[in-house]
Structure 1
């Protein structure tokens, strides 16, 4: 049975690393649902967070194959029950004086922020779990959504004993 998997990969911070990791997924027939990359507290190391659907066998296969790449320093599964996941959403909504306050009420309920406002539209920022962002967009469906931009999922384990990037060789 396929399920949503989130893995975190620590890699050397150098050119073409993302391409190598992403192409490995593609060559193995995995579709990446979400991918984020950022530097860590060590400027030599970057973290790649990948979300994909797979079963236990496919998860084991992709972890084994990814670990073999020489640029990969560490890779681990971010367990749903022991990790925090967040995504950033920016959404531009057309508005006017008749519906501005109604949209603002929805933004407030979801603890979002209006980061830009004009007479014809507003841009809203919302951070949270994917399900929260999906619910927010669903509530806005009755308004004219002009543009949506999402970062993709990033995550971190709640455990203190997870990889310390400063100790990676």
Structure 2
């Protein structure tokens, strides 16, 4: 099933994220990625949710989320006309024998080395989810000690989104 990215503008107050996430959980919808951030208006937050479901299920998700009192607007993002980004922090085992090879991989992907110790290296990479996946694939021969991905955050290209 294709990846769908939903952008939800909600009132910025306590409990909104819980209400949105529990709606998905109660209906049996699996969330692949969820990010929440402030917007230019302090009264509004943006929730970006990534799901893999068919069009009928997606339509149901949108209708049920739109009914929530705190939801100001919900709309699917056309990924061809949107900017999707994700942040990765990854700690790799890096001794003297493989440190330069790992550094070369980091340079190719434009990852930033943010910590270096005797036995490990921590890198930061921001980019499209496919870039993050590719970076992790190339790093797979090395021992990944820890990693954390933020999940997708996204905006449409061009002017301000006006759907309502």
RMSD of equivalent CA atoms: 1.4
Residue 159 of structure 1, CA deviation: 3.0
Shift of 1:46: 0.5
- Cα distance in 2 for partners of 1:39, 1:51 equals 18
The 5-angstrom pairing of residues 8-19 of structure 1 reads 8-19=7-18
Q: Distance in 2 between matches of 1:80 and 1:21?
A: 22
1:136 is the counterpart of 2:135: yes
Offset at residue 161 of structure 1 (A): 3.9
Q: How many angstroms apart in 1 are the aligned matches of 2:23 and 2:145?
A: 35
Superposed CA offset, 1:67-101 (max 9, x none): 10010111111111110101000000111111111
Misfit runs of 4+, over 6 Å: none
Structure-1 residue corresponding to 2:80: 81
Determine helix, strand or coil for the equivalent of 2:24: helix
Please give the residue correspondences for 1:104-115 in structure 2 after superposition, counting only pairs within 5 Å: 104-115=103-114
The number of equivalent residue pairs is: 164
Q: 3-state DSSP class of the match of 1:138?
A: helix
How much does 1:106 deviate? 0.3
Using the TM superposition, give the Cα deviation of residue 15 of structure 1 relative to its aligned residue in structure 2, in angstroms.
0.8
Counterpart mapping for 1:89-100 below 5 A: 89-100=88-99
> C-alpha distance in 2, partners of 1:48/1:72?
10
**TM-score, structure 2 normalization:** 0.96
Gaps of 5+ in 2: none
Residue matched to 1:46: 45
- Structure 1 residue runs without a partner (length 5+): none
- Alignment match, 2:102: 103
- Is 1:123 aligned to residue 122 of structure 2? yes
Secondary structure of the 2:106 match is helix
